[in-house]
A and B are shown apart, each in its own frame.
Chain A
Amino acid sequence: MKRKRFPWLEIVLLIVVLTVVGVLVNNLAVNLIRTGLGLSFEWLWQPAGFALSEHTLPYQPGDSTAWALLVSWLNSLRVIACSIVLATVLGVGAGAARRSLNPLLRQLAALYVGLIRQIPLLLQLLFWYFVAFLGLPSEPMAPIGALISISNQGVAILGLNLSVEFSAVLVGLSVFTGAAIAEVVRGGLDSVPKGQWEAFRSLGISELLGLKKVVLPQALPAILPALSSQYLNLAKNSTLAIAVGFADLYAVSDTAITQTGRAIEGFLILLLSFLALNLLINGGMQVLNRIVVRPAQRT
């Protein structure tokens, strides 16, 4: 048996990391003392003093800053959750279409993925908001009867009212992430041996059924890990909502920081909130992984 080497490298690395962290923390503490600030979270309980354009829980400018941040966190959560659903539908559809037998469907999906992946997300969001949604007439249009009505003041689907800002972020994030998910799905489908496709086709099973029963169960283990990292990206990209006037967590923290001057505390809260959000998504994906992948691997 080989004798264990003394871990010089690890120890040196540890010292370097601790020194860097120590210098940063010391720097922060010294500067905070010098400017007479010091860390304080008292301001969280002061009245916020600004209104929010949309909120799911009751909110007034006289409520505390902490409450304003929580309300905006829920706004973020809402748009992220809806975008994840819509992006998954779009992505799986487009990914499967790229391996479809129908050439038109294949080309359309390739065009969508190719186009969307080449354009920065910020530009796409600005396009959806300023050109697509605000370009709508101010009088509501109802293309499919009472089912849906859209104008540049808002969108109503089956009596559910959505602001244009929310709609633009939802569509922008979903379309952008959908293109990335389409590639993930295509990669997963390609990882399934060609013989599997030929097998179900030769048995006369329909494309959709074969995809569902034969190919996808084998492709999922390759798809899921990459999919969850796309979901995490989507959550982080949602902070670009500030560019199109959506009152998400980042936009509201920005206002709170400007008004209180508490930049360090504000960013700490922002970091922790996003950590919590992404841990939530990560946890959800691990549960999904356990439910979907393990049984599939057992069979």
Chain B
Amino acid sequence: MTKRRSLISLLSACLAISACATLGDGDASRVDLIRNRGELRCGVSGKIPGFSFLQRDGSYAGLDVDLCKAFAAAIVGNPSKVQYRPLTAPERFTALKTGEIDLLSRNTTFNLSRDASGGNGVSFAPVVFHDGQGLLVQRNSGIRSLQDLKGQSICVGSGTTTEQNLNDAFQSLGLPYKPIKYQDLNQVVAGYLQGRCQAMTSDRSQLASARSGFEQPEQHVILGDVLSKEPLAPLSSGRDQQLSDAMRWVVYALITAEEMGITQDNVDNKLQQAQDNPDLTKLRRFLGVEGDLGDKLGLSNDFVVNVIRATGNYGEIYNRHLGPDSAVPIPRGLNQLHRDGGVITAPPFQ
């Protein structure tokens, strides 16, 4: 009798342990899942020129897309192993929560409600584009700053806090102005192009995208003044520490590479230098020649080299899609490195 009881308890213990083991399997990091799959599933918009836009040949291009490539280079080891999923704004969080996509790189504003576990509960990587409300004016208008818009008409859309931001900026400078308020962005654009307003206002990324559709985009400039904070960042579901750490440090690697002057072209030279010269400890750690920074993240130790080879550093990505020679030029402003007067900076790779 006692024998039988102990047998049963032994069996149930085995069952319990195996149950725990299966649960443990479910807890395996998404990073391993992506690596085993050999492909990263990345949610993008696909409709925003400069950020993620479907090209004529069926591929995607933009700042958000290059980040997907950087993540794939770091995790899978190959920037072309990305499956892009175009998502609308309402779809994006659901797709992330259900695990349909591994991560989201779709100009999403980082704020408390989305980050908090009582809200959307997602986990944000560092900000990759500091957007904000801006103003678009005609190049030949002579308007260069908010002061020049004193007493002028400004076309503005309804439905967001755009009007309030506009007023806060003008009121704090004591400047009178005339808001001409329309119901949606298309009417704002029409009113501006027809010459009703001397300026139109919206998020700077939206202004740049709208301008790229104008007949003569080069005749319009976005002013340097920024009226609100809209920090855009990539994000993961928030259930996976390893994935969100990996994403965080891939973005920091892009920024650090720009700080250290490492580019897509010279990364192999730099790697050679690091291997040849044991005194360049900082560079050696960053490129994974010594230390175990990559291993700690669960990535290959030289993940930084893979990332920079794939996309170049942060500044190169920015210039490729939003720089002065691109189709959607947006002045770098806040998105400059901290040493150049912006807010882009990264903690040390130590």
Contact = CB atoms under 8 A, between A and B. Distances in A.
Contacts, number: 70
Given A164-B196, A259-B161, A53 B181 contact: yes
Given A134-B195, A255-B163, A259-B163, A53 B170 contact: no
A152 interface: yes
B179 A49 contact: no
A183 interface: no
Interface string B114-129: 0000000000000000
A92 B195 CA distance: 36
A289 B21 CA distance: 88
A245 B191 contact: yes
A44 interface: no
B183 A50 contact: no
Nearest to B177: A51
Interface in B171-217: 171, 176-183, 187, 190-191, 194-196
A61 B153 CA distance: 15
Nearest to A48: B167
Contact of B161 (A51, A244, A258): A258
A19 B229 CA distance: 48
A51 B170 contact: yes
Nearest to B182: A245
B160 interface: yes
Contacts of B159: 258
A190 interface: no
B168 interface: yes
Interface size class of A (residues with CB under 8 A): 20 to 34
Interface string A128-141: 00100011001000
Contact of B164 (A50, A247, A254): A50
B158 A152 contact: no
Contacts of A242: 158, 181-183
B190 A130 contact: yes
Interface residues of B, number: 27
Nearest to A259: B164
A243 interface: yes
A245 B181 contact: yes
A255 B163 CA distance: 8
Contacts of B180: 53, 165, 245
A90 interface: no
Secondary structure dominating the interface of B? mixed
Given A243-B183, A245-B181, A251-B158, A49 B194 contact: no
Contacts of B167: 49-51, 61
Secondary structure dominating the interface of A? loop
A121 to B, nearest CB: 15
A260 to B, nearest CB: 10
Nearest to A152: B195
A51 B187 CA distance: 19
A81 B155 CA distance: 27
Contacts of B194: 130, 134-135, 152
A269 B223 CA distance: 38
Contacts of A258: 158-161, 163
Contact of B158 (A61, A134, A254): A254
Nearest to B162: A258
A229 to B, nearest CB: 27
Contacts of B166: 50
A61 B168 CA distance: 9
Nearest to B163: A50
B312 to A, nearest CB: 41
A244 to B, nearest CB: 8
Contacts of A138: 195
Contact of B187 (A49, A164, A243, A251): A243
Contacts of A135: 194
B168 A49 contact: yes
A138 B164 CA distance: 29
A209 to B, nearest CB: 47
A49 B182 contact: no
B195 A51 contact: no
A53 B176 CA distance: 10
A138 B138 CA distance: 15
Contact of B196 (A50, A245, A247): A245
A52 B195 CA distance: 19
Most buried by A among B153, B164, B181, B191: B181
Given A130-B194, A152-B195, A255 B181 contact: yes
Given A53-B180, A254-B158, A258-B163, 11 more contacts: A50-B179, A51-B177, A52-B179, A61-B171, A242-B158, A243-B182, A243-B187, A245-B181, A255-B158, A258-B161, A259-B164
5 contacts: A53-B181, A130-B194, A135-B194, A242-B183, A243-B183
Interface of A: 49-53, 61-62, 130, 134-135, 138, 152-153, 164-165, 242-245, 247, 251, 254-255, 258-259
Nearest 3 interchain pairs by C-beta: A134-B194, A245-B180, A53-B178
